[in-house]
Structure 1
Amino acid sequence: MIPRYDIGSAVSLQRVPLQAPPRRKSRVMQPSMNEKMGNDATELSGGQSANSTITSVNSISSLLKEKLQLSLPQALRNSARRQNADYRLRAFVGFLFLCVVFLVGFAHIYYNQHVLQRAYFDKFRFNKNERMMTVYSSSGGEIIAARLGEGIPPDTGVYPCLPHHQRQDSVCLEWLQQTRLYLAHTKHEDMHCYHVTWQSLSPYYNPKDCFDWSSKRGHWYGAGQIQNMAYPLERGRLELSPFITGDVRKHSFGNVLKRYFLNSKGATILVDAETPLYVSINANRTNDFCLQAKHDAFAYINHLTPLPQLNYTICATDNMKTLHSLMAEKSLWDGLKPDELHAVHSLLSEPVWQISPINEAAIYNYTEDVIALGFLRQGHVLLSEEWQPSPGDFVLDEERFPSMEETINIIHRRGFRIVFSIQPFISTESVNFKDAVANRLLISERGSDPRIPALTRYKQSNSAGVLDITNNKTLPWLQTKLESLIMKYHVDSFYLDLGTAQDMPHYYKCQEPLTNPDHYKTIFTRSILSTIPVIGVSSAISRPRAPVFVSLPPFPSSWKAIKTVIPTVLSYGMIGYPFIMPGAVGGDVALPMSDNNPDNDFEVDLPDKELYIRWLQLSTFLPVIRFTHLPSKYSDESVLEIAKRLTTLRQKTVTPLLKKYANETLDTGLPIIRPLWMLDPADPACHVVVDEFSVGEELIVAPVLYSGSRQREVYLPAGVWRDGIDGSLRKGSRWIHNYRVAEDKIAYFVKMPDNTRF
C-alpha cells in the first residue's frame, strides 16, 4: 500500500511537465513559481484542472511566439552573413585566379624575352624565337633594344644553319625558306661592335629590323638632312623611303647623307654601303626606327645579289663623345698638299661671292662694290653655271662676255679668285650634246639601244643628258674642256654642281653598274679631283678629301628657313663632313637667270632687312661666309655698321678658332662646328639644344632666329664663360632666361680657364 504522501507527490510530479518551462532569462521568478505550484498541488480538482491545462497551453504558445520573435531576425542575420561571406570567398577566389593568370602570362613573357635570350656575345643578348635583340652597357643598362626580322611569318621555325652556310666566328640562324641571319662580334679598345647580316631566301621577304626610339632610349643624331629637319632625329617622322639624296621640299632626304646614326646613351648604327637601304622614323604612329633592305626599279635597280641583304654594325661604349671620336675618320691630312691646305685656310678666312653672271659689267661692278665697302676681304668669286650659253658647253658665252679674259685679269689684280660652277648635265641644246652622244659619253636608257641617252631635267634645262663618268673616255674628254678654260681664262678652281640622286634619269644605265644613283657623285668627284682643282660640291654621300667643302642645300629667304640652318650644319658635321659651305646670307633668294627667276630680272627683291642682319650674325661664326646680296644694297648705314663690326669680330676672334680646329679636324675627323653635347656628353640638357652651337670647344653661339625678338633662352655647358656682349663671367650647367639681345648684337660666350673665379 502506497502512502498518501507518495501518491500526492507522484501526482504533483506528473503535472509539472504541463506547466510552462522556466524562461532562461527569468531565473529570478523560478523559485516563487515552484513554491506556488507546490502549495496548490494538493488542491487541484475538476474545472481547476481544465483551467490549468488552458493556462499551460497559452503559456506555451506565448513562450513559443516570443522565442520565434527573438530567433527569426537572428536567423535572417546569420543567413545574410553567410551570403556575404560566400561573395567575399568567390571574389577572393576570382582574384587569386586572375593573379595566377597574370603570373603565368608574365612568366611566359619573361621566359620568352629574357630566359630564352642567349648571351651570344659580351653585352649582347638575342632571343631567336621572339627575335628580340638587346645591347647593354658595361654597367648592365640597356643601350639598344630592337625587333629583328620584322615580317617573318610567325609559324616559321628557326634552326642552326647547315654546315656549308656557316661562317667563321659568326652565329648563323635560319628561318626556313625565308631568311638567314649572321651575328658576329669584334672589340676595339673599349668599344664592342656587333655585326648583323640578313640574307633573304625568298623573293617575298625583304629583311627589316626596327629599333625602339622611345624617350627612354635616349636621343638619336645622324643621317643628314631630312624633311622638316628634326633634331634630334627621334622627334621627326618619316615614312619608309629609299635612303638617297634629294630635295627636302619634294623628297624625304636632302643633298648630303651618310648611313650613320648615333645614340646619346653610347651606341652607333652604321649601315653597309652595299645594302639597298630604306629607312623609316616613327611611321604608323610607332616609336620605331626601321632599316629595311629592298630592291626597287630606281634607287636599287642594280644589285650584287639576286635577293636583298641587310648588313649593318652596332658599336657601343659608355660615352657618346668617346664613341663618336672612335668612329670618326682619322688622318684627313694624309696626302694633302701645301697649296690645298692654303685653299682650306683661304675659304675659312675669306668670303665667297656668289654671282649669277648676266654680263661682264655685272661681275666687274660687283667686285668693285665689294672693294668700295672697305672692310670685307676679296675672297672667291663664284660664277653660277650661267657663264655658258647652255649647260654642258664648257665655253664662255662670247655674246655676253666678249672680253672676259681681260675682265678676269682685272678681278685677279683686285685680289679675287675666280671659281666656275660646272655640271655633269649636258643640255640637248648644248654644242657638245651631239659629240657626247656620238662617243657614247652619256648615261644610256635602260632597256633600249645603248646609243640612246637617258634624259632628265635639271634647273633651267628641261632636257639634258648626264655624262657617264664610268666610261673611260668621259673623264679625258671633260678634262680637256676644263683645262682649256683654265689656260684661257686663268680659272682658279671649280665648283661641282652635281645635283642629287633624284635628278638622275629614272631608267639610267651606266657602262659600269652603280650601287645606287648616289654612287655616281662619289665617282665623279674622285675622278675630277685627280686632275682639276675643286673647292666645293653641291651634294655628297662620302666625304670628299680636302680642300673640298660640301655645300648646305639652298634655303629660302624666310624666318622658317633660318631655323633649319643650325641643325643642318650640326648634322653634316657629325656624319663626317667637317668642311661645310653654308648658303648665301639672307637665304638663297631668286637669283638672276635662275629657275626661280625666269624673267632674268637682275633687280630681284632683297631679303627682309632684319632677317638679313640675323642671318649675317649667324654666318659670321660658320666656316665659310657666302654673299649674294651685299650689305650696301640696303642703303642703310645701320646695316653697314653692323656688317663692319661683325667682320671685325670674325677676323679677330672667329677665324683663328676656325683655323685651329680645322687643323685638329684633319687629325681627328671631329667637326669644326659642334653640338653642345660634344662639350658635355653627360649633360641631358645639351642633347636637345637645337638653336646653339660651338666653334670647337671654346666658343658658344646663340643667334636670334625669330622676327622681332630681342631676347632668347641660352644654355651654357659646364665651365665658366665670358659673355661676348658685356664681358661678364657666367657659370655653366644652367639656363640663362630672357637673355637680352639687341638687333645689332649676337649672343656668344668664350670659354674661360677652369680655374677662373668670379
Structure 2
Amino acid sequence: MLKRLNLIRTAVMGIFGTVAVWLNAAPTGTMTTVTPDGNCVVVRALSDNIIRVTNAPRGVKPSHTQAASMKAEKFNGKIVKNGSQIVMTLPSGLEVSLNTASGATSFTGGKERLLYDSGVRTTASDGRKSMSLVPAKGGSFYGAGERGHSFNIEGDTLVMYNRQNYGYGEGDPRINQMNICIPLFVSNQGYGVLFDDYAAAELVMSDPITYTTEAEAPISYYFIYGADNLASVTREYTRLTGRQELPPFWSLGYITSKYGYHNESETRGVIDTLKNAGYSVDGVVLDLYWYGKETDMGRLEWNKEQWPDHRKMLADLKAQGVNTVLISQPYINKIGAIDNYNQLAEKGMLTHDAQGKINDVTTWVGEAGMFDVANPDTRRWLRERYRTLTDEGVGGWWGDLGEPEVHPETIVHANGEKARQYHNVYGNVWSSIIYDLYKDEYPDTRLMTLMRGGTTGLQRYSVFPWSTDVSRSWAGLQPQIKIMLNSGLSGLAYMSHDVGGFAIDKENPIDPELYVRWLQLGTFSPILRTHAQEFAEPYHYPEYADELLDLVKTRYRWLPYNYTLAYENASQGYPMVRPLNFDTHGATPYDSITDEYMWGSEVLVAPVLQQGARKRDIVVPDGTWIDYNNPDVTYHGPSKISYDAPLNVLPMLIRAGAFIPQADYEMDNTGDYDASRYTVLYYPRSNVTSDYVMFEDDRKSTSSLDNGEYALITFRGAASKSSITVDIDMSGDYPGMPTEKTITLVLPGIKSSNIKSVTENGRVRTITESADKYFTLTVTLTRNEPLKIVLSL
C-alpha cells in the first residue's frame, strides 16, 4: 500500500510539478509542498505558538543552527486541505496556510493576517540568498539584538555582523550595528520572526521585510506567535531559544570595576575604601593586569610580581562577601604569551587561512594568534585553564573582545566556516566553554559570565552582556535605555552598561553630575557595575557622597523585588527592563518612548538624561500611578506630566495596587540578606484590585526551579472608598527556609489617621502608629496559613 501511495505521489508531481503531503501532516503537525521550481517547503508546528518554515531545493538541507533549544511538542491543532491551500489551525488562535502550488505561507491571528511569505527565494551572483516577508500594515518593530540608535526599528536597514564601537554616544550612526546581532524582529501586533542563521546578513525592515544572508544553506525561519502582547512573544521566543538560569544572588548587588586594578594592593585598597565609605560590595572585576600587562594577553596566568599571593587575596575577598571576576580574550599575544602561542600553534588550535596556514591577527596590543573555538581541542584547552583558575577561587568570568573585535575575513575555522559565516556565533561557543565547565565541575554553583559578543541563544549560557566601551558623556548615557529595551526583547534580560561611562574625555575626565545621573539609571538596571578608564568608583565624587551612597543602598533594599524579576526571567523569559507597551496589545502611543521604561510590571523609571536638567516630562501610561518620591500625589494616564527632578531625585511612578517587597535594613553584601523579614510597600487606590507574586529560594541552588525547591508569597489587594483588604499567602518550601516571616506592611500615601479599624484574620488589631505617618502594620506569616487584613476607612 505504501509503495502504491508513493507511485501515485510521483505521478502527480510529474503532471503538476507540485505535491502536498497533507494527509501525512496531521499526526506530526507538518505541512509540505514542492513548488514548480523544485523547492521543498516544510511548515512545522513546534508548539501551539511556534512555527518553523523551511524552503530549499530538493536534496539541499536548509539552515539549522544552534538557535533553537526546544524540542517539538505534541501537535494539538488541526490540518485540513481546501483546494490549493493546506490550513493548520492551532489552539492558540494561530492559523497557518500553505499554498500547495506556490509555496506561499500566511500567518493569521484572529481575523487579521499578520505576515505573508510569498515562497520566493533568490540567490545573487555572489551567492547571497534573500527572502521577503510582507507584514500587516501599521505595526512597529523591535529587537534585533543590541541596538542603540532607535527603539522602534521600523524602516531601518540592520547589518547582522557584530561590531565594536569605541566611545559611542547618542546620534552616532555606528550604534545601529553593535556587538550582539540577533536576526529577530518583534512586532507590537503580537508576533516575532527569528531567522535561523548566524552568518553575516542584512535585515531591511521595510514593506516587504527583506533578509539577505551570506550563509551557504537556504534560510529557515521561526514564526513566533504571542497573541496577547510583547510579553507573550518574549515568553515564546525564550521557550524556543532557551532561558537564562537564576543568577548568582551576588550579581544583583554592587560590583566595582575599572580599567584596571593593577595589583593586589590596589584591589584590596579599593574594596577597603568602598567599605569604609559605607558601600555594600559584592564583586570586583579584574581587567587585563591580572596576568601582567597588555602584551601578556592570552597568558591566562596570574602575574606573580603584581599578585604575590592571589589565592589568599581571592579567599580574603570572598570572606568579605566580594566575588572576583577575571577577564580573558580570544587572542594570544606573540610577545607576553608566546609560550601559549607556540603550544597552540603546534597543535593546530589557532585560526588558519584557506591554505591551512596560521592566520594571525593585529590587535590593539600587537600581533597575536586567535583561539579557534570551532576546534574541540581548543575548547578543551581553554576549559582546563578556566578550571584551574576557578579552583583557585575565581568567582566569575569576563569574556572581552568577543565579537570578535578583530576577525580577519581570510580566516577559515576548524568547522569549515569562513570568518563572515562564523563571526556572530563565536561568542556563543566561547561562552558555552565556561557554561559547560560549570555544569560538569561545579554543578552547584551559579555562573556569571560577562560577555559582549554573540547571537541568538546567548542567554542560555548564563551570560550578562553589557553595552561595551561607551563614552563618558551625556551622549553616552542617552542610548542605554534603548539598548536595554531591544536586548531584553531579544532574550538578553541582563543587558547593562558601564555605569559612569567608560571612555573618558581626557580634557574633562570627571563630570560629577553625569556620574550621579548614570548611577541612578544603573541602580534600576539588571546589573549595577561601575566601570571606567579612570575615576570609576563613587568615592571619587565626594561632593555627592550622600546621594551616591543612598543609591547603592537602594539597590540592596530592592533585592526582593529584583530577585523576583530574575525569577520571572528564568521561568517566563521576561526581561527586567521592559517597554511601556510590554503588557498591552497592539499599537499604543508608547512606541517612541526611549527615555523611560518599566522595571518589571509595577514600576516606571524615568531617569534624567540631559545635562543640567532639574525637571523632565514623563509620559504616563494607561491607568493610575503613584509618585514614588511623593506618594501623596497620584497621576492618571494616558497623559504627560512635568516632574521636578533635582539631582538627588530619580523620577519613578508606581502602578496603583502594586506590592513592592523590600529588604529595609543595612547590608554589607548580599550575604546579609534575611529571608525571614520583609518590608512590603502597598499602594492601594479606590476601585483597584491587584495581585503580586514574590519569589524566594535559598539563593544558591542551581536546580531550585527544576526541583520545585522554592516558595511563592502571593499578595492580593482590593480597595474601595470604605475599606482596603490585603490577602497574603505563602506556598512552597526549600532547604533552610524560615518557618515564619515577619512582614511589615507599609501603605505609602495612606495616613494612619485615615484608618478607623484593623482586623487580621477577623481579630481586631490596635492602631498604635503616629497619625501623621503612612499606615504601617507588622504581621507574622506562616506557610500554608493565609492572612487576611482588612482596614476600614
The TM tier, using the shorter chain, reads 0.5 to 0.7
Mapped partners of 2:425, 2:518: distance in 1: 34
Are 1:724 and 2:632 counterparts?
A: no
Task: Name the counterpart of 2:426.
Answer: 520
On the 8 A contact 2:195/2:220 being kept in 1, the answer is yes
Partner deviation per Cα, 1:90-129 (whole Å, 9 max, x = no partner): xxxxxxxxxxxxxxxxxxxxxxxxxxxxxx9xxxxxxxxx
Query: 2:254, 2:529 within 8 Å by CA — same for their partners in 1?
Result: no
Structure 1 stretches lacking a partner, 5+ long: 1-119, 121-158, 282-286, 591-595, 598-603
CA displacement at 1:575 relative to structure 2: 0.7
Aligned residue among 293, 297, 304 for 2:212: 293
Distance 1:415 1:161 in 2: 63
- The structure with the greater share of residues assigned to strand is 2
Q: CA 1:329/1:528 → structure 2, altered by over 3 Å: closer, same or farther?
A: same
CA shift in 2, pair 1:353/1:241, >3 Å: closer
- Inter-partner Cα distance in structure 1 for 2:350 and 2:397: 21
- The residue identity in structure 1 corresponding to 2:221 is Y
Deviation at 1:547, TM superposition (A): 3.8
- TM-superposed CA distance for 1:508, in Å, is 1.1
Structure 2 match to 1:155:
none
TM-score, structure 2 normalization:
0.63
Q: Take 1:387 and 1:326, find their aligned partners in 2: how far apart are those partners?
A: 40
Equivalent position of 1:419 in the other structure: 325
**Count of aligned pairs:** 551
Distance 1:470 1:367, change over 3 A: same
Residue 377 (1) aligns with residue 284 (2): no
Question: Considering only aligned residues, what root-mean-square deviation do their CA atoms show, in Å?
Answer: 3.5
Structure 2: which amino acid aligns with 1:646?
A: L
Q: State the SS of the aligned residue for 1:694.
A: strand
Once residues 651 and 437 of structure 1 are traced to their aligned partners in structure 2, the CA distance between those partners, rounded to angstroms, is 47
Matches within 5 A, 1:82-481: 161-162=35-36, 165-167=39-41, 186-188=88-90, 189-192=92-95, 194=105, 196=117, 198-200=120-122, 203=125, 206-209=128-131, 217-226=138-147, 229-234=149-154, 237-238=156-157, 241-247=159-165, 253-273=177-197, 277-281=201-205, 288=207, 290-295=209-214, 300=215, 303-304=216-217, 309-315=218-224, 319-321=228-230, 323-325=232-234, 327-330=236-239, 341=246, 343-354=247-258, 356-374=260-278, 376-389=279-292, 390-429=296-335, 430=337, 431-446=339-354, 448=355, 450=356, 452-458=357-363, 460-481=364-385
Cα contact 1:422–1:497 (8 A) shared by 2? yes
- Alpha-carbon shift at residue 428 of structure 1 (Å): 1.5
Instruction: Give 1:557's aligned residue.
Output: 472
* Contact 1:332–1:666 (CA under 8 A) maintained in structure 2: no
1:351 Cα deviation (Å)? Answer: 2.8
Deviates more, 1:267-276 or 1:325-334: 325-334
Letter matched to residue 293 of structure 1: T
Alignment match, 2:503: 589
Counterpart check, 1:509 vs 2:433: no
Give the letter aligned to residue 742 of structure 1: P
- The answer to whether the Cα contact below 8 Å between 2:448 and 2:463 also exists between their aligned partners in 1 is yes
Cα offset, 1:420, TM superposition: 0.8
Shift of 1:405: 3.4
Out of 564-573 and 717-726, give the one that drifted further.
Answer: 717-726
Q: Write the letter of the residue equivalent to 1:500.
A: E
Distance 2:175 2:643 in 1: 38
Q: Name 1:499's counterpart in structure 2.
A: 402
Partners of 1:647 and 1:172 in 2: how far apart?
A: 50
Instruction: Give the drift of 1:333.
Output: 9.3
Change (3 A) 1:643 1:358: same
Q: Could you list the runs of 5+ residues in structure 2 that have no partner in the other structure?
A: 1-19, 21-32, 45-52, 63-83, 97-104, 107-116, 169-173, 439-446, 658-687, 690-718, 722-793
Q: Deviations over 1:429-467 (max 9, x none)?
A: 213111111111101122x2x2x3212233x42222111
1:325 is displaced (CA, Å) by: 4.4
AA in 1 matched with 2:35: C
C-alpha distance 743-505 of structure 1, shift in aligned 2 (>3 A): same
Match of 1:634 in 2: 541
Larger CA Rg, structure 1 vs 2: 1
Kindly provide the amino acid, as one letter, of the partner of residue 505 in structure 1: P
Q: Contact (CA 8 Å) 1:222, 1:262: kept in 2 or not?
A: yes
Match of 2:649 among 739, 742, 745: 745
Classify 1:279/1:334 alpha carbon distance in 2 versus 1 (closer, same or farther; 3 Å). Answer: closer
Deviation at 1:331, TM superposition (A): 9.7
Do structure 1's residue 485 and structure 2's residue 379 form an aligned pair?
no
> Structure 1 residue 484: deviation in Å?
2.9
Q: Match for 1:441: what amino acid? A: M
Percent of aligned positions that are identical: 19
Q: Which has the higher helix share?
A: 1
Helix, strand or coil at the partner of 1:265: coil
Change in CA separation of 1:510 and 1:726 when aligned onto 2, cut-off 3 Å: same
Kindly provide the amino acid, as one letter, of the partner of residue 165 in structure 2: D
